Each structure stands twice: as structure tokens, then as C-alpha cells.
């Protein structure tokens, strides 16, 4: 069998840290630092390549890291003794294990930060029952299967410790891996996702307590008195820490303010406390990681301090140190030790026992709580998730000589298999509830027969930069007392990157779509929530906070799905560029332009793209101080009628005056207009609908001085831009994305940004200096096809032609 990290080696001289270089005859691989650098680089490359290959299968990165560790070990590539002794020589294993365990120490600190004691105490009966069933049945079956292993391949080990380790290994649920899987499958905000996360958090804490007990009962030359002292000392450490740590970190949290950088001394002191706690628990005889875990659990989660710690520590730990831990495990894993029918039969037994205990136990208890069968089965699959937490348990058992090589290899393959099958099984079994039916989802546009019905807006934003103007736009949209009001869903669009930790994902997604008065929302933890909460208190608008955590490739699906579930009439998206101080536009992130285009194509309702030039200034404007001039540019067509309807809604605000500029072609045919191919269906009906919309608005506002109408007859784009320039001092333009009628051809050549259409592109052109914001609207089911590609001949116009 190939040698690995656990095989005894003859004594060799310690490695020096650095070499003198190859030109002086030194081999860098004989020295600790260059060898460690090469090991880290190889590990990162292998695991990242595997993660990329497994990404289409929607597997969490931990799967790639486990496989990468096994491949580099004696099970695969490491079977080549020259490779194994060159890259992972026996004398380097101690340094490798030390670096890996430092990474593990801080990972456990982050894992502790993900556990919120307040939430655990408020865990509902359903989640608590599922957690208990998900621990007790697998634990019992693990003990039963342990007797089979003890009689076959695990002879001569400490029976009590072996039983407990096997029980813990089969009953554990990997909380961070589960959070990642739920986020990938977009289940974090569903009932199944919330129940799974609550149950997994309880399971996590219980498993670590059981593991601490198992460690206390294992070891060389152990007597009952020693076990008692280890257990009592561990309890004393927890009690002492619970008295000292929370007050200290609450004081630190009060010293840190939202939006301000965290003082370096606070972060440094926290990391030093984590290391000190690890030293204490290692001295007691438990394991250094338990001290770090306890500190993480006891750090208060309120305020920005906990989140800042995660952001500062997570990248280094998960990106650099943790992969070393997987390689350390892989060097101890030799699949070749699983030989013969008996060994493979035991592997099947262990996998079956692990899956049966978790899935069946969770499924039965879920049915007792009257959950649907599909959701109960999905919960069972989710709770069967293993991962790094499983490897930690197995490695401790291996180091304590509770698990031999063959048992260790069987358990690693079990953890890999159970985690790998989670995503495909959940996708196959769980079908989310169907979207709102056509009957219940009536108002998909702002233009409607009864304008007094409730208006539902899904307002999306990328960052706090978008919030002040978005709030001012929403305040302007609230309508009058006689209407049913305005309901706003404020959707924070966040990228699901590899560094999104469980604590950030779960806290941001929790209570999605519920009112701000819900106690689950901590107003001091998120400046976005603070802004919208203040807006709700100062106005008559009902605001519901939401968060979308997804990759850019499918972020549009989240937006459209949310709009349909909430029966929104319009989705408002921020433009992918923001205005700089000199008035020019700078790209926030090009991916958001792609998201906007996909939403325009697939939205179940109307869509508005908001080009922000500081509507109302850089802060929220109180309702009594609103004073805006709004200009609606009307050429004709469904999109323009949607802009007209929104302008009519804005005009109902006492501080807003609206000017509707109606464009019509001159009767004498000239230039480009004579060549227009009117291939739209039923142009007569289209013109009739435009005329009716204008006539209806004129009738409703006949006694309202805040609404004015202007008729402009034009024949080419130069005259159109001249009219627009005359209104450039207004606060906001409302325009349709794709205007219809005889002016369409001349306008379509002006479309630099396809998602904004010709007029929107004109209004954001750098050759068109203005201070007005722009809202470009596309009406749902407009007959004009939303072609999001620039016209073949629609090159950017020269300034003399366009403006």
C-alpha cells in the first residue's frame, strides 16, 4: 500500500525553510517553503479545475475538493511513488497538516458565526422534530452498523469510541454545504429551504457536542478518570467563555458602525482570541477546533462586525487553507484498501444505512407535521448532505486511531456519494409551487381599465447607490387616497459567488417578502433595510424587503419568478450604468445589462428601466417636499401608452406636474418617413388605442392644472431631438421602449442601447447633456417584438445627425 500521512516513517532531519536556489545546487523541493508553495498551487489548480467541470451538474465546490484530495492521494495519482514522494514527501506531512489545521481552526470559527443561538431558541416544533429525527435514527443505525464493522474490518479498536464516531459520522448534516445547495437550487426562501436550514443548524450543534464527547472518550492510555476530567474541563471552558466572550464582543460591535471600515485592531484581537481558545481546548484534550467553534457561536451577530469578520477571513480560509485539509484527508484515503466482496458490501451497507436513517427519519417526522410527501422527501434528501464537516469527524477519528485505513476510506466514499446525489435527487423530486394563475394575476400592466386598483411594483436594486432615487420614484408613484394604494417589493439583487458564506446567504434571504415590522428583520444590520423602513414610516406605501441571491446567468429568472409570484404590474430595473460627478456615465457592471435584456424578453408583466441622474438629489425626499416636473414623450404604441399611464399615476401626486408631448408626422411625406414599412398588425386598431388613451387622460385631467398636453408635428429626427431639448430641464422623462407609427424608422436608427430603445438611448447619449432621469417602459404583451439586438445599420449616429 502506498504510504500516506499516517504511516510511520523513519526519523529524518527537519527541512530547512528556504533554499539557496537551483544555481547553487539546491533542489527547492527539499526545502519547506518552496515545497509548501508548490503543494498549495497544485491543490488549488486541481480543485478549481474539478469545480469548473462539475459546475454544469450544480455540485457544491466541496465535492470537487474532496475528489481532488482523493485523486492526489494514494488512491489515484499518488499510486505513483515517485510523484507522491516528490510532491508530498513524508517529512513535509507535518507542515502540511499544520497549515491544514490552521485553516480548519478558522473555518470552525466561521461555522460558529453561522450559528445564531437566538434563532435556535426560537426554532419551531417542526424544525426541531425533524432535527431530532435526523440525528437519532441515523445515530442508532450507525451504532448497529458499527457492530458489523467491528466484527469484520475494525477489530482491535476502542469499541465505545468507535460506536460514537460512527453514530456521529452518519447523523451529521453539513450546514454550510446545505446552504450552498439551497442557494444554487433557489430554495433558500421556500418553506422547505427555511425548515431545512433551521433543522440543520440544530443538527450541527448537536453533532459537535456528540463529537466532543466522542473525543473525550478516545485516546491512548485513557482511563475513566481522564475522560471525566476532559469532559468537565470542556464544560468549564464553555461556561467561562459564555460569560466573558459575549459582553466583550457586544462592546466591539457597538464600536463598529454601519458603512465604516472595521478597525484593524478589533479584527486582529478577534483572530488572536480564536487561536487562544483553540490552544486551551487542545490543552484540555478535546481538539483545537472546538475552541474556535465556541468563540464563533458566542460572537453576537447583530451589527456589522460579524459580517465584516466573515468577509475578511473567509476568502483566505476557503480559498487557500481548506483545500490543504482536503489533500491532507486524501493522503490518508486509499481506496485500494477496499478489496473483495466483503469490503465493497460493507461500503454499500454504510451508504444504505446513512441514507436510510437520514431520509426515512426526516420523511416520517415531516409527514407527522402534515407536510406534502414531495416536500417531506426533499427534506430527507437535503438533510442527508455531508461534506467538510463529515471529513473533520473522520479525520479526528483517524488521528485518534479509532478508524483504520479501510474504514476511513469507506466513510470518505460514503460522504462523497451522499453529498453528490443530493442535488439531482432534489431536482427530480421537488417541484416548486406553480406560479400565480391567470385568473388571480389580472393586472400585468400599469395601463388598466380601473386605475384605482392596487399597483404592485417590483423595484430591483444592485447597491445602496440605487436606493435614494428609487425611493423618490416610488414615493412619486403612490397615487391618491381614493386608490387601493401602492405595494412595493424591494428586491436586492446579489450575485451568488463562490465566497458567499452560509451566514450571509441565510440572513439576507430570511423572511423574504414579509413586512418590515416582522421581528425577523434587524433594521440595524442592513442599511438597505433601514432606508426602505424609513420610507415606509414616512409615507403610505407598503414596502416588503426581498433578496435574490443567484448567479448572473439566471438572475433574470429570479426576477421574473418573483414578479409572477407577487403578481407585480411592473418590474423596475436600474440601468447598468451610473452617473459620475462630471455627468458622464460609468458602467456599474456589464453583467447587469445582460440581466436587463433577459428580463425584457421573459417578464410576466411590464418592465421599466430606470436611468438615474439623481431624481430628488442624493437623499430621500419627504412627501411634502416633492416638487418634480415630469415629461412624457408619446409617439404611439403599447410601450408609449404604458408610459402615458405611469405619467398619469405620477400626476396624481400633489407635488408633481406632468407634461405630455404628443408627436405626430407632418402630412406632407418627407425623407425617411415616407419609406416606413407599416407591417404591424391592425394599425388602425393601434391608432385607435392611442387616441383612446390620450382622450381618456385628457378627460380625467380636464380640471387638473398639473397635467398639460403639447402637440408637436415633426418630420425627421432632428426636429424630434429639438423638441426633446426644449424639455431637458425637467426632472424625469417617461418614454416607451419601442414606439410605433410613422416615426418608427427614423427613431430606430438612434438605438445605441437596445434595452432602452431609440428615445431612451437618445436621452442617455453623452451628446445630450441634461440632468433629467429617464424611465423607459415596455408594456407586457406589446405587439412590437422586443428585439434586443442593435439594428444592423443602426450604428451610432454622429452628433450632427442625432442631436
- In terms of average pLDDT, the best of 464-468, 541-545, 602-606 is 602-606
pLDDT higher at 716 or 236: 236
Q: What are the backbone angles phi and psi of residue 48, rounded to the nearest 5°?
A: -70, -35
- What's the confidence (pLDDT) of residue 340? 85
Note the pTM of the prediction, 2 decimals.
0.73
- What's the confidence (pLDDT) of residue 569? 92
Other beta carbons within 10 angstroms of residue 82's beta carbon come to: 7
pLDDT band at 784 (very low <50, low <70, confident <90, very high): very low
Q: What is the mean pLDDT of residues 581-592?
A: 76
Sequence-distant contacts of 97-103: CB under 8 A, at least 24 apart: 97/5, 97/328, 99/36, 99/321, 99/324, 100/321, 100/322, 100/324, 100/325, 100/327, 100/328, 101/288, 101/289, 101/325, 102/321, 103/317, 103/320, 103/321, 103/322, 103/324, 103/325
Q: What are the backbone angles phi and psi of residue 311, rounded to the nearest 5°?
A: -65, -35
Angle between helices 373-383 and 422-429 (to 10 degrees): 170
355 contacts 30 by C-beta, under 8 angstroms: no
Q: What is the mean pLDDT of residues 649-655?
A: 85
State how far the Cα of 52 lies from the Cα of 212, in Å rounded to an integer.
Answer: 36
pLDDT higher at 620 or 598: 598
Between β-strands 486-495 and 577-579, what pairing exists: parallel, antiparallel or unpaired? unpaired
- What's the confidence (pLDDT) of residue 751? 65
Of 7-21, 255-269, 304-318, the range with the lowest mean pLDDT is 7-21
Sequence-distant contacts of 32-36: CB under 8 A, at least 24 apart: 32/92, 32/95, 35/87, 35/89, 35/92, 36/92, 36/95, 36/96, 36/99
Residue where the block lists cell 410605433:
740
Instruction: Report which DSSP code applies to 155.
Output: T
- What's the confidence (pLDDT) of residue 590? 82
- What's the confidence (pLDDT) of residue 221? 60
The per-residue pLDDT for range 328-347, each reduced to its tens digit, is 899 999 898 888 898 899 99
526 contacts 492 by C-beta, under 8 angstroms: no
Using alpha carbons, select from 682, 791, 702 the residue that is nearest to residue 747.
791
State how far the Cα of 217 lies from the Cα of 221, in Å rounded to an integer.
Answer: 11
The per-residue pLDDT for range 521-542, each reduced to its tens digit, is 343 335 666 677 667 766 667 8
Q: What is the mean pLDDT of residues 493-498?
A: 73
Task: Determine the 3-state secondary structure of 617 from DSSP.
Answer: coil
316 contacts 380 by C-beta, under 8 angstroms: no
Helix (H) or strand (E) holding 609: strand 606-611
Angle between helices 373-383 and 340-368 (to 10 degrees): 130
Residue 280 has pLDDT above 60, yes or no: yes
Q: What is the mean pLDDT of residues 749-776?
A: 81
Amino acid at each position: 500500500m502506498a504510504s500516506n500521512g499516517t504511516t510511520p516513517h523513519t526519523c529524518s532531519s527537519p527541512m530547512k525553510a528556504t533554499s539557496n536556489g537551483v544555481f547553487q545546487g539546491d533542489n527547492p523541493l527539499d526545502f519547506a517553503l518552496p515545497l509548501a508553495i508548490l503543494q498549495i498551487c497544485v491543490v488549488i489548480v486541481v480543485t478549481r479545475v474539478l469545480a469548473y467541470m462539475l459546475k454544469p451538474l450544480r455540485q457544491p465546490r466541496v465535492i470537487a475538493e474532496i475528489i481532488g484530495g482523493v485523486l492526489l492521494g494514494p488512491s489515484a495519482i499518488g499510486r505513483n511513488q515517485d510523484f507522491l514522494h516528490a510532491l508530498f514527501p513524508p517529512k513535509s506531512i507535518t507542515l502540511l497538516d499544520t497549515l491544514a489545521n490552521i485553516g480548519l481552526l478558522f473555518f470552525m470559527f466561521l461555522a460558529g458565526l453561522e450559528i445564531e443561538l437566538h434563532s435556535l431558541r426560537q426554532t419551531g416544533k417542526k424544525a426541531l422534530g425533524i432535527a431530532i429525527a435526523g440525528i437519532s435514527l441515523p445515530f442508532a443505525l450507525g451504532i448497529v452498523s458499527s457492530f458489523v464493522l467491528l466484527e469484520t474490518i475494525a477489530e482491535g479498536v476502542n469499541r465505545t469510541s468507535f460506536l460514537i464516531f460512527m453514530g456521529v459520522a452518519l447523523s451529521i448534516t453539513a450546514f454550510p454545504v446545505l446552504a450552498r445547495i439551497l442557494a444554487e437550487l433557489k430554495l433558500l426562501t421556500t418553506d422547505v429551504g427555511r425548515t431545512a436550514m433551521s433543522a440543520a443548524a440544530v443538527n450541527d450543534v448537536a453533532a459537535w457536542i456528540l463529537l466532543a464527547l466522542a473525543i473525550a472518550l478516545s485516546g491512548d492510555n485513557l482511563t475513566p478518570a481522564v475522560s471525566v476530567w476532559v469532559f468537565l474541563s470542556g464544560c468549564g471552558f464553555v461556561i467561562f467563555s459564555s460569560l466573558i466572550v459575549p459582553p466583550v464582543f457586544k462592546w466591539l460591535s457597538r464600536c463598529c458602525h454601519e458603512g465604516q471600515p472595521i478597525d484593524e485592531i478589533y479584527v486582529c484581537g478577534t483572530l488572536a482570541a480564536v487561536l487562544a481558545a483553540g490552544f486551551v481546548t487542545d490543552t484540555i484534550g478535546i481538539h483545537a477546533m472546538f475552541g474556535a467553534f465556541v468563540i464563533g457561536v458566542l460572537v453576537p451577530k447583530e451589527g456589522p462586525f460579524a459580517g465584516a469578520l466573515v468577509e475578511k477571513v473567509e476568502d483566505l480560509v476557503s480559498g487557500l487553507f481548506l483545500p490543504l485539509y482536503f489533500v491532507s484527508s486524501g493522503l490518508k484515503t486509499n481506496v485500494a484498501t477496499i478489496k473483495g466482496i466483503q469490503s465493497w458490501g460493507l461500503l454499500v451497507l454504510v451508504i444504505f444505512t446513512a441514507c436510510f436513517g437520514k431520509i426515512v427519519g426526516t420523511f416520517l417526522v415531516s409527514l407527522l407535521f402534515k407536510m406534502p410527501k414531495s416536500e417531506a422527501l426533499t427534506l430527507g434528501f437535503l438533510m442527508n448532505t455531508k461534506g467538510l464537516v463529515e471529513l473533520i469527524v473522520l479525520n479526528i477519528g483517524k488521528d485518534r486511531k479509532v478508524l483504520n485505513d479501510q474504514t476511513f476510506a469507506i466513510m470518505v466514499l460514503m460522504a462523497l456519494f451522499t453529498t453528490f446525489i443530493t442535488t439531482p435527487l432534489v431536482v427530480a423530486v421537488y417541484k416548486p409551487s406553480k406560479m400565480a394563475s391567470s385568473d388571480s394575476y389580472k393586472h400585468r400592466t400599469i395601463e388598466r381599465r380601473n386605475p384605482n386598483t392596487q399597483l404592485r411594483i417590483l423595484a430591483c436594486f444592485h447597491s445602496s447607490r440605487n436606493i435614494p432615487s428609487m425611493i423618490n420614484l416610488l414615493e412619486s408613484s403612490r397615487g391618491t387616497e381614493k386608490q387601493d394604494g401602492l405595494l412595493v417589493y424591494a428586491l436586492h439583487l446579489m450575485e451568488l459567488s463562490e465566497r458567499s458564506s452560509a451566514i450571509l446567504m441565510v440572513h439576507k434571504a430570511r423572511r423574504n417578502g414579509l413586512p418590515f415590522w416582522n421581528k425577523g428583520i434587524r433594521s440595524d444590520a442592513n442599511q438597505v433595510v433601514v432606508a426602505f423602513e424609513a420610507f415606509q414610516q414616512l409615507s403610505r406605501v407598503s414596502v416588503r424587503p426581498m433578496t435574490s441571491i443567484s448567479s448572473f446567468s439566471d438572475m433574470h429568472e429570479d426576477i421574473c419568478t418573483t414578479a409572477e409570484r407577487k403578481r407585480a404590474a411592473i418590474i423596475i430595473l436600474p440601468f447598468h450604468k451610473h452617473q459620475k460627478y462630471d455627468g458622464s456615465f460609468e458602467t456599474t457592471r456589464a453583467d447587469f445589462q445582460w440581466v436587463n435584456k433577459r428580463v425584457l424578453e421573459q417578464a410576466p408583466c411590464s418592465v421599466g428601466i430606470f436611468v438615474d441622474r439623481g431624481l430628488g438629489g442624493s437623499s430621500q425626499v419627504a412627501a411634502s417636499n416633492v416638487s418634480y416636473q415630469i415629461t412624457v414623450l408619446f409617439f404611439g404604441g403599447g410601450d408609449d401608452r404604458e408610459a402615458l399611464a405611469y405619467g398619469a399615476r405620477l400626476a396624481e401626486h400633489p407635488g408633481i406636474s406632468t407634461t405630455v408631448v404628443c408627436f405626430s408626422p407632418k402630412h406632407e411625406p418627407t425623407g425617411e418617413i415616407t419609406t416606413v414599412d407599416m407591417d404591424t398588425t391592425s394599425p388602425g386598431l393601434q391608432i385607435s388605442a392611442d387616441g383612446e388613451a390620450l382622450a381618456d387622460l385628457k378627460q380625467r385631467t380636464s380640471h387638473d392644472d398639473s397635467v398639460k398636453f403639447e402637440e408637436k408635428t415633426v418630420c425627421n429626427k432632428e426636429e424630434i431631438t429639438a423638441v426633446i431639448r426644449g424639455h431637458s430641464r425637467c426632472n424625469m422623462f417617461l418614454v416607451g421602449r419601442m414606439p410605433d407609427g410613422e416615426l418608427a424608422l427614423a427613431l430606430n436608427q438612434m438605438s445605441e442601447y437596445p434595452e432602452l430603445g431609440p428615445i431612451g438611448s437618445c436621452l442617455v447619449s453623452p451628446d445630450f447633456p441634461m440632468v433629467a432621469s429617464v424611465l423607459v417602459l415596455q408594456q407586457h404583451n406589446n405587439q412590437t417584438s422586443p428585439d434586443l439586438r442593435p439594428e444592423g445599420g443602426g450604428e451610432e449616429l454622429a452628433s450632427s445627425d442625432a442631436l
